[in-house]
Copies of this chain bind each other. A is one copy, B any other.
Amino acid sequence: MRYGRIPDETIRRLSTYMRGLVGLFHEGIEKVSSTALAEALHMNPPQIRKDLSYFGAFGTPGVGYEVEKLLNHIKDILKLNNTHSTALVGFGNLGSALLKYPGFSPYGLDIVAVFDDDSAKIGKKINGIEVEDVSRIKDLEKREIRLAILAVPANAAQETTDKLVEAGVRGVLNFAPLYLKVPKKVKVITIDIATDLARLPYYLPAG
């Protein structure tokens, strides 16, 4: 599918709309207007309509959107209609929390491989997944894993990323607080927990 130039912010919001729609779907609600969806997510209605209009016309004037149908359209746009096997690299505190995180499955995102460089951890089995040595990363291409979650210490992050990229990984969710150099064909989304927390005091009332 080929669309025009889409703002990155639109893609970010699309995954938020999806979160809202999944909720409505589970509540058994079948139809929703842009106003009602906006209210649930604290966003604004024309933006939802504009964002969706980049990709097509999914609603019915006078009625709104069918929840299930719109959900599937967004899944198509975000390429979430088939399951994506994902590798988790780094099985420390954060890594093991992420492995148990239940939030990924509604999006069809499955952690199917775990890597670490600590021999004390290698070979352990968690939920049927065995922790493998990082040297095995090179097999990811063969195993058709193109997404990775990076939860290693900052000083190992670039080196590990290079290995992942060489092994054919094309998307990285990075938890290390630094800029990762990657070829253009690879997308990195960084979650920097500490700098996010560090923004909060700014908004505290003076005194």
Contacts and interface: CB of A to CB of B under 8 A. Distances in A.
Interface of A: 1, 11-12, 14-16, 18-19, 40-42, 77-80, 84, 86, 93-94, 96-98, 100-101, 103-104, 106-107, 109, 146-147, 149, 170-173, 177-179, 181, 185, 187, 189, 191-206
B146 A173 contact: no
Given A19-B192, A101-B94, A196-B173, A202 B77 contact: yes
23 contacts: A1-B206, A15-B195, A15-B198, A19-B194, A40-B179, A79-B202, A93-B100, A94-B97, A94-B101, A96-B97, A98-B193, A103-B177, A106-B194, A107-B194, A109-B197, A146-B204, A170-B203, A171-B200, A173-B193, A173-B196, A185-B205, A189-B200, A191-B196
Given A109-B194, A197-B107, A204 B79 contact: yes
A198 B193 CA distance: 18
Nearest to A176: B103
A15 B199 CA distance: 6
Nearest to A8: B199
A103 B173 contact: no
A149 B77 CA distance: 33
Contacts of A94: 97, 101
Given A78-B198, A93-B101, A197-B149, A187 B203 contact: yes
A194 B11 contact: no
B93 A194 contact: no
B93 A198 contact: no
Contacts of A18: 195, 198
A201 B147 contact: yes
